[in-house]
């Protein structure tokens, strides 16, 4: 099995290099046969990479310990689901999985465009093959997952065609990254036992930065498609987004940052850094060499226009990205310069990003109310009156209910403002269709969305973002306390009574568990029973140094708040348990916002029947 998998990767690398060579010959000589063969060869590379990935997965599932990767990241007792996920548990496996996902995209691009974009596709395939080649070099010579156990890359087509051809690809990859970030937050909240879903960890930041610039690009290409403006800016945004993806992989694999999510230091770091610098150099050259072609003669006609709203939106996204990048890299830079690493924690990121994020939320409400080219004073008054009043009214209600902190009050006002703006936009469209076609509300809504999926899908995405901001408000009102408790003790927090009813013990297949039973009451009425655990994983190894303690949390979740319990430790001699209780507000709205964001993006992605054949 190791020989078979390694052979697949070696053959893939050879075919990938031949693909690039044939495409170079095609560009030079114009012989269609070279392009025809290179297409098929690139598809063969994708197929072989998929086979290699399946081979590694089969080795993991069958516990084939002849493969060093399998031996390191699984055992006979590892559950099947974790054997499956072990494919991205280590350096070499995650690189192969990275390559597999990329190859799937490459195959779809080639098949979908086999008879379209004849001028663009040779350069597209060449660019993708070079990227595949880099990762194939990594998995063949630097981090081979099948190692045995030892005892003009861009064509000068600068009109809106390329924007339309990549829109859905951009949305799909943006959605995939967004879902990954949300799933990471959900996993951190439900598994790690620290009570939060975002810690500004360097690896979390590495995934967040390209999502920010990608979001800016998705907004900005609307201006290029409709007004043929911001062409240089859009090219910079998409190049930076790709660069940040590779840079994030470098941060994860190099060991230069300290993170619970990163891999240990390895020889991959310099390789990835070199690839980042290569991408930066090539991208800069291509951009500068085409600068005159990219420039547009059109300019913003008014400060108060939808075009300027999109531009300000872009500036805010890039500002957040720069702040996150600076905070992530500052400890490394300080160590290089002074020899002392200065830690940058969550307070720095919150202090910088919260006000910028609120400005971004404001722009999400302002943008739809502005007209293209120029907005008259009459339109400003008419369009902004109701949303502004709704925002002020929501802030007043929040303050009457006892909310005094500035940021939560402002967030409440802005969520009401943006929601009212979006609802107003939907209602205007529905009213027009009802007057024009005599449709009922539901018919008008569905027809309106189907006729302009990108616009109204985007509005639904904004509703999802608003719901997530509602969830973020709850962080200002979270409460937590930690106690040493004996069986029968009762403590109180946020109106809840927590009683340690019993302590149980259980030996399982690969760990030993102490189970605390906590009875939760509120106003004298029983709410729920929580059972956090303290586990010691031994993997059938008698060596105490190999035993791993782990706290398995237990929580009770409602729309208003979560009661979150963690079994910190146990003192058997004094029969004392360390119990931490957190009451976290409005967390469910974060996950609900993620679902709505997914729904809105799917609507925007869904092809129009009239354009079913286009990308």
Query: Of 261-275, 434-448, 536-550, where does the model show the most confidence?
Result: 434-448
More confident of the two residues 130 and 342: 130
Confidence label for 613 from pLDDT (cuts 50, 70 and 90): very low
Query: Which CB contacts under 8 angstroms, 24+ apart, belong to 537-541?
Result: 537/510, 537/511, 538/510, 538/511, 538/512, 539/75, 539/77, 539/510, 540/77, 540/510
**Confidence band for 479, pLDDT divided at 50, 70 and 90:** very high
- Per-residue confidence (pLDDT) for residue 540, from 0 to 100: 54
Can you read off the two tokens belonging to residue 116? 């379209």
**Is residue 397 scored above 90 in pLDDT?**
yes
Q: Is the pLDDT of residue 305 over 90?
A: no
| Segment (H or E) for 321 | helix 306-338
The pLDDT confidence band at residue 168, using thresholds 50, 70 and 90, is confident
Confidence (pLDDT) at 614 = 44
Q: How far apart are CA 188 and CA 190, in angstroms?
A: 6
Closest of 597, 609, 613, 610 to residue 171, by C-alpha? 597
Mean pLDDT of 103-127: 90
Q: Which two tokens stand for residue 546?
A: 């190999």
Q: Which residue has the higher pLDDT, 304 or 434?
A: 434
The least confident of 102-111, 266-275, 450-459, 522-531 is: 266-275
* pLDDT at 142 exceeding the cut of 90: no
Q: What average pLDDT does this structure show over 99-118? A: 91
Least confident of 352-361, 537-546, 604-613: 537-546
Average confidence (pLDDT) over 25-51: 92
* HSE-up (13 A, CA, CB side) for residue 434: 10
Tally of residues, the chain: 615
For the ranges 73-77, 218-222, 537-541, 544-548, the one whose mean pLDDT is highest: 218-222
| pLDDT at residue 20 in the model | 93
pTM summary value: 0.85
Residue range 382-393: mean pLDDT, rounded = 93
| Six-digit token string for 78 | 């590892």
Least reliable range by pLDDT among 85-89, 230-234, 444-448, 604-608: 604-608
608 DSSP assignment: P
Residue located via tokens 């702040």: 323
Query: What's the alpha-carbon Rg for the chain, to the nearest Å?
Result: 27
Sheet of strand 554-557: strand arrangement = 479-485, 576-585, 561-571, 554-557
Give 153's pLDDT tier (boundaries 50, 70, 90).
very low
Sign for the CA dihedral angle at 404, 405, 410, 411 comes to negative
Q: pLDDT of 544-575, one tens digit each?
A: 556 788 899 999 999 999 999 999 999 988 88
Instruction: Calculate what percentage of the chain has a pLDDT beyond 90.
Output: 58
**How confident is the model over 442-462, as pLDDT tens digits?**
999 999 999 899 899 999 999
In the predicted model, is pLDDT for residue 602 greater than 60?
yes
Backbone angles phi, psi at 77, to 5 degrees: -85, 0
Residue found by looking up tokens 């002074």 in the block: 338
Work out the pLDDT band at 79, boundaries 50, 70, 90: confident
**Predicted confidence (pLDDT) at residue 408 exceeds the cutoff of 80:** yes
Closest by alpha carbon to 157, among 127, 129, 117?
Answer: 117
Q: What angle do CA 615, 246, 597 make, to 5 degrees?
A: 50
* Average pLDDT for 222-226: 84
């Amino acid at each position: 099995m190791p020989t078979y998998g390694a052979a697949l990767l070696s053959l893939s690398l050879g075919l990938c290099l031949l693909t690039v060579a044939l495409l170079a010959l095609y560009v030079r000589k114009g012989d269609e046969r070279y392009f025809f063969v290179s297409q098929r060869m690139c598809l063969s590379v994708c197929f072989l990479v998929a086979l290699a990935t399946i081979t590694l997965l089969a080795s993991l599932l069958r516990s084939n310990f002849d493969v060093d990767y399998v031996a390191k990241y699984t055992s006979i007792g590892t559950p099947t689901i974790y054997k499956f996920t072990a494919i991205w548990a280590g350096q070499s496996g995650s690189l192969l999985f990275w390559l597999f996902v990329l190859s799937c995209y490459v195959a779809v691009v080639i098949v979908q465009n086999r008879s379209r974009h004849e001028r663009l596709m040779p350069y597209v395939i060449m660019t993708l093959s070079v990227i595949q080649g880099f990762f194939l070099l990594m998995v063949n010579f630097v981090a081979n997952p099948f190692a045995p156990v030892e005892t003009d890359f861009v064509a000068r087509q600068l009109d809106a065609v390329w924007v339309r051809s990549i829109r859905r690809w951009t949305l799909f990859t943006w959605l995939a990254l967004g879902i990954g970030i949300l799933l990471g937050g959900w996993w951190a909240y439900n598994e790690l036992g620290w009570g939060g879903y975002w810690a500004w960890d360097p690896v979390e930041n590495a995934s967040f930065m390209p999502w920010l610039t990608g979001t800016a690009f998705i907004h900005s290409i609307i201006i290029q498609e409709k007004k043929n403006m911001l062409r240089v800016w859009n090219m910079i945004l998409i190049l930076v987004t790709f660069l940040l993806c590779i840079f994030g992989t470098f941060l994860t694999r190099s060991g230069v940052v300290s993170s619970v999510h990163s891999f240990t230091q390895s020889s991959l770091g310099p390789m990835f850094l070199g690839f980042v610098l290569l991408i930066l150099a090539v991208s800069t050259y291509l951009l500068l060499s085409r600068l005159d072609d990219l420039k547009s003669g059109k300019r913003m006609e008014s400060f108060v226009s939808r075009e300027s709203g999109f531009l300000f939106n872009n500036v805010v996204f890039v500002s957040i990205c720069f702040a996150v990048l600076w905070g992530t890299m500052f400890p490394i830079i300080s160590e290089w310069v002074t020899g002392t690493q200065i830690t940058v924690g969550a307070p720095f990121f919150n202090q910088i990003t919260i006000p910028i994020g609120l400005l971004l939320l404001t722009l999400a409400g302002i943008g739809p109310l502005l007209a293209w080219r120029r907005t008259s004073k009459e339109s400003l008054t008419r369009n902004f009156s109701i949303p502004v009043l709704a925002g002020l009214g929501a802030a007043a209600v929040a303050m009457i209910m006892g909310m005094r902190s500035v940021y939560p009050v402002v967030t409440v006002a802005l969520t009401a403002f943006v929601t009212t703006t979006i609802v107003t936009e939907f209602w205007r469209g529905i009213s027009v269709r009802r007057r024009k076609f005599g449709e009922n509300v539901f018919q008008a809504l569905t027809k309106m969305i189907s006729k302009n999926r990108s616009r109204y899908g985007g509005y639904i995405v904004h509703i999802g973002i608003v719901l997530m901001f509602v969830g973020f408000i709850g962080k200002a009102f979270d409460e937590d306390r930690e106690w040493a408790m004996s069986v029968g003790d009762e403590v109180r927090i946020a109106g809840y009574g927590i009683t340690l009813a019993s302590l149980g013990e259980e030996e399982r297949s690969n760990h030993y568990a102490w189970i605390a039973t906590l009875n939760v009451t509120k106003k004298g009425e029983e709410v729920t029973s929580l059972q956090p655990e303290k586990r010691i994983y031994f993997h059938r190894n008698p060596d105490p140094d190999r035993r791993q303690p782990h706290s398995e949390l237990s929580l009770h979740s409602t729309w208003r708040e979560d009661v979150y319990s963690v079994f910190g430790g146990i003192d058997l001699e004094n029969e004392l348990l360390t119990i931490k209780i957190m009451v976290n507000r409005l967390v469910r709205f974060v996950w609900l916002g993620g679902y709505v964001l997914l729904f809105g993006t799917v609507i925007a992605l869904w092809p129009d029947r009239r354009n079913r054949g286009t990308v």
